[in-house]
Structure 1
Amino acid sequence: MSKSHESRDDPETPASASTPDLPQRALSRGLKLASLPLGIAGRATVGMGKRLTGFADEVFGEDLQRKTADHLFRVLGQLKGGAMKLGQALSVFEAALPEGMAGPYRDALTKLQNSAPPLPAASVHGVLHRGMGEDWREQFLEFDDSPAAAASIGQVHRAVWKDGTEVAVKIQYPGAGKALQSDLKQLARIAPLFKTLQPNFDVREIIAEIQDRLMEELDYQYEAEAQRAFHEVFAEDEHIRVPAVLHAADEVLVTEWVEGTPLAEIIKNGTPSERDRAGWTLSTFHFSAPARTGLLHADPHPGNFALADDGRLIVYDFGAVARLPEGMPPEIGRLTTLALEDKGEEVVEGLREEGFIPQDLDLTGEDILHYLKPILTPLSGGEFTFTRQWLREETQRLTSADSHAARIGKKLSFPPSYLLIHRVTLGSIGVLCQLEATADWHEIIVEWVPGFSFKG
């Protein structure tokens, strides 16, 4: 008997029947978001008092960071939606935090990669009823009401399909679309801060692009189309595995259940060879996919990946995908090559044409090479190990107020059309540093990025 048959909840109860109305929920979500800076500020004030009364700074610092990290996890975890996705994005970059702060945030933010409060069984059944019809139970031999995993806009249940195939059933949270729109409006309020930090960024266009891409993630039919394309191309691949899609509806997606060691577990406890293998396959997947499928998987947080026993990388989530029918833009490879060859003036010219350097900004080739060359070191040839220390140093170099590179970066612009490519690049670097993976990254780029021809 299906486990869902044993539930004492009414399976056909509308999901909205037991939830507050939208204005009340929106107010609640807004208050929770507002609590983040208020809570952090409050703890900072307490910290000043503790310093005045003689508490050891290092003891207080650890306590404050742990409490702040826990608050961040609890608030973003409760919100699901856009704020939850923000938390997942942040979790990739814990490797860039100073080591004294990294521990508490590492534990709290890593939880966000696969954690969220679960839906009641009645709500799950209501979504299945809408997405698969009144006879949805007949499509499964078994269905587990308890979620096996949870993410920002949905949760995953383990089940057995009618033909005996073990499947993963992704259920979208009822009202996820309205909640996501509400969160994006709330988060957009920090736009003036971005304008202060990056005066040449067209913040409105970037936020509009983010909104469009995040709203695409609500469309499970759109996601199923992308996943089918990836599955077809990688079906016989010896390094990558993409589960097949068995059924798709607006709020329900049924795919093969494929198990492996979660990437978060490899980050925490993996052997050096497992870490290297995970890093190499992840990079190969991201850089080869545009050439092979015309698509770029654009959500590189560890919760979307696992390593199979046979060494293949399992890819689970295709809600965020960039359409690149011509493959990766060749200008990326060409300009990266020119930078590694120290042809600064040509790099400036190319970046200006692509919209990264404003037309009225006077920037020298020496300036742009000073900004770019250190971050490109992993691509210069030979083996390179991504480490948390390297990422912290690069983060400091690119953001510190007294850094020449930071002053250059503040003058640059950012074309919204590169948003998802940038997201994948930075996110992948963050994961590679969490893994502390070693490989010849140059070889991957030479093979799969058009326009890249640096000899090393």
Structure 2
Amino acid sequence: MSDIPRRTASRTAKLASLPLGAAGRAAAGWGRRMAGGDREEISAQMMAKSAEQLFAVLGELKGGAMKFGQALSVFEAAVPDEMAEPFREALVKLQTAAPPMPGADVHRMLAEQFGRGWRTRFREFDETPAAAASIGQVHRAVWRDGREVAVKVQYPGAEAALVSDLRQLSRMSRLLAPLAPGMEIKPLIAELQDRMVEELDYRDEAANQRAFAAVFDGDPEIKVPAVVASAPKAMVSEWVTGRKLSDVIRSGTTEERDHAGARLAAFHYSAPYRAHLLHADPHPGNFQILGDGRLLVVDYGAVARLPEGLPGPLVQMTKFALENRPEDLMDLMRNEGFVRAGTEITAAEALGYLAPFTEPLHTERFRFTRAWLQAQAGRVGDLRSPEFDTGRALNLPPQYLLVHRVTLGTLGVLCQLEADVPLRGIVGHWQPELFEADAAT
């Protein structure tokens, strides 16, 4: 009899322990304060222990819980510094680290996907995983023709685990909201649920990666590993490795951060027009910097299909905001469903809400910082802020949700890098219509 129901119940109990454990530590901390303990020291200890539990639970569960943690890690730059540090390292760990699955499970999955003689496909196969992700882990190997390859193997029971985790996380969305201030957690979880079916079939991921690899083949700035073989739950691709972006974020020089930021922005804004696809998982664990300076991009399980490039209405909204045309902006937003029916919002309020997000495009270069992102999150997430009421009147139509989240996620990573990026030139190369008025004057 399958043990999936028993494992699912165990996962649900562990997920439920997250807010309960935090509440218990808060009560204990309050008791210590009553006894004369130092408030700042107690708060720091509580945050550190909460972060440890966050990683332990989400990392062990993998699946949807780990995927959720990875999505949150992109936005840690928005959390005020005095609260963020303990969670920062825990969330970064979730980008690439998770307890490995047993070797017997790896062998069984490879036999199911490539046949009982799967070992004959490889000259060498490293039993120790090189990396772990939300629904699978990666092993280094040598293909039968001598090429070094990365073998991605899906965890057994990944589908059931994803559904269970995301359902439970959805119930906990209000308790998890402080980890991403100014961001609605429930829509994020719902959107993650919608993408899971695509990510579970590695043949889809292989097709996506092949499309990106063909477009960026020989590119001087971007490297996409070639796909060697694929099956529903296993995938083999070219082994390429460099310096992890999380390491650049943590200890890179100013020049290294700026370089990485420019490469990341170039990839994000060019892909919709070059590949008609958008890489939809922009957490730092999916990016590395190679020795020759190129940005290595991995994990193509989640993509947005954009046959015409970025959606025209989003580009036009940006143009109206840049040109300070509030009435045109409001008309477009109402026509496209960006304003909730029955709500009152002025054109000036809508422009004021969106204007700071176009700020990086007003100058030739823009320094993305944690302080800037924290200010934006505080502005739209503070209950006392006028922009909070404006935000409640706005709506994000489902067809734009993924593009919006990925763009915000990319900006979040740029702020983690604190990179100075020539964003106006990068965006203008692929969306020249945004700056046509400037060129004419």
Q: Normalization by structure 1: what TM-score?
A: 0.91
Post-superposition CA distance 1:289-343 (Å, at most 9, x none): 1111111100000010100111110011100101111111122121111112111
Moved more, 141-150 or 411-420: 411-420
Correspondence 1:337 to 2:319: yes
CA distance in 1, matches of 2:77, 2:192: 24
Corresponding residue for residue 289 of structure 2: 307
Corresponding residue for residue 89 of structure 1: 71
Corresponding residue for residue 7 of structure 1: none
Task: Give how far 1:113 is off.
Answer: 0.6
Secondary structure, in 3 states, of the residue corresponding to 2:352? helix
Corresponding residue for residue 13 of structure 1: none
Task: Give how far 1:249 is off.
Answer: 0.2
Correspondence 1:222 to 2:204: yes
Corresponding residue for residue 33 of structure 2: 51
Corresponding residue for residue 251 of structure 1: 233
Match of 2:15 among 23, 27, 33: 33
Secondary structure, in 3 states, of the residue corresponding to 1:145? coil
Post-superposition CA distance 1:123-162 (Å, at most 9, x none): 1011110111111101000000100000100000000000
Task: Give how far 1:187 is off.
Answer: 2.1
Correspondence 1:321 to 2:321: no
Corresponding residue for residue 455 of structure 1: 438
Decide whether the 8 Å contact of 1:333 with 1:450 is kept in 2: no
Secondary structure, in 3 states, of the residue corresponding to 1:357? coil
Written as runs of structure 1 = structure 2, the 5 A alignment for 1:433-448 is 433-448=415-430
Decide whether the 8 Å contact of 1:235 with 1:241 is kept in 2: yes
Letter in 1 for 2:90: A
Correspondence 1:423 to 2:405: yes
Letter in 2 for 1:179: A
Corresponding residue for residue 154 of structure 2: 172
Decide whether the 8 Å contact of 1:381 with 1:455 is kept in 2: no
Task: Give how far 1:50 is off.
Answer: 2.1
Corresponding residue for residue 298 of structure 1: 280
Letter in 2 for 1:418: Y
Moved more, 404-413 or 253-262: 404-413
Written as runs of structure 1 = structure 2, the 5 A alignment for 1:154-173 is 154-173=136-155
Corresponding residue for residue 365 of structure 2: 383
Task: Give how far 1:99 is off.
Answer: 1.2
Corresponding residue for residue 8 of structure 1: none
Task: Give how far 1:263 is off.
Answer: 0.4
Secondary structure, in 3 states, of the residue corresponding to 1:314? strand
Moved more, 284-293 or 367-376: 367-376
Decide whether the 8 Å contact of 1:328 with 1:449 is kept in 2: no
Task: Give how far 1:262 is off.
Answer: 0.7
CA distance in 2, matches of 1:313, 1:77: 26
Letter in 1 for 2:80: P
Decide whether the 8 Å contact of 1:342 with 1:369 is kept in 2: yes
Corresponding residue for residue 345 of structure 2: 363
Letter in 2 for 1:362: E
* CA pair 365-75 structure 1, distance change in 2 beyond 3 A: same
Corresponding residue for residue 6 of structure 1: none
CA distance in 2, matches of 1:443, 1:219: 37
Decide whether the 8 Å contact of 1:338 with 1:347 is kept in 2: yes
Post-superposition CA distance 1:69-91 (Å, at most 9, x none): 11111110011010100111111
CA distance in 2, matches of 1:438, 1:371: 24
Percent of aligned pairs with the same amino acid? 53
Aligned length: 434
Secondary structure, in 3 states, of the residue corresponding to 1:141? strand
CA distance in 2, matches of 1:56, 1:184: 38
CA distance in 1, matches of 2:170, 2:90: 24
Task: Give how far 1:191 is off.
Answer: 6.4
Match of 1:72 among 47, 54, 61: 54
Corresponding residue for residue 335 of structure 2: 353
CA distance in 2, matches of 1:327, 1:370: 27
Letter in 1 for 2:438: K
Task: Give how far 1:424 is off.
Answer: 0.8
Decide whether the 8 Å contact of 2:19 with 2:175 is kept in 1: no
CA distance in 1, matches of 2:224, 2:235: 14
Decide whether the 8 Å contact of 2:126 with 2:140 is kept in 1: yes
Q: Which runs of 5+ in 2 are unaligned?
A: none
After TM superposition, the runs of 4+ consecutive aligned structure 1 residues lying more than 6 A away are 191-195
Corresponding residue for residue 119 of structure 2: 137
Task: Give how far 1:235 is off.
Answer: 0.3
CA distance in 2, matches of 1:292, 1:213: 22
CA distance in 2, matches of 1:392, 1:194: 18
* CA pair 193-414 structure 1, distance change in 2 beyond 3 A: farther
Correspondence 1:150 to 2:144: no
Task: Give how far 1:450 is off.
Answer: 6.5
Task: Give how far 1:209 is off.
Answer: 4.3
RMSD after superposition: 2.2
Secondary structure, in 3 states, of the residue corresponding to 1:113? coil
Written as runs of structure 1 = structure 2, the 5 A alignment for 1:7-18 is none
Decide whether the 8 Å contact of 1:384 with 1:440 is kept in 2: yes
Task: Give how far 1:451 is off.
Answer: 4.4
CA distance in 1, matches of 2:176, 2:233: 34
Secondary structure, in 3 states, of the residue corresponding to 1:359? coil
Task: Give how far 1:23 is off.
Answer: 1.4
Decide whether the 8 Å contact of 1:220 with 1:252 is kept in 2: yes
Task: Give how far 1:117 is off.
Answer: 0.7
Letter in 2 for 1:335: M
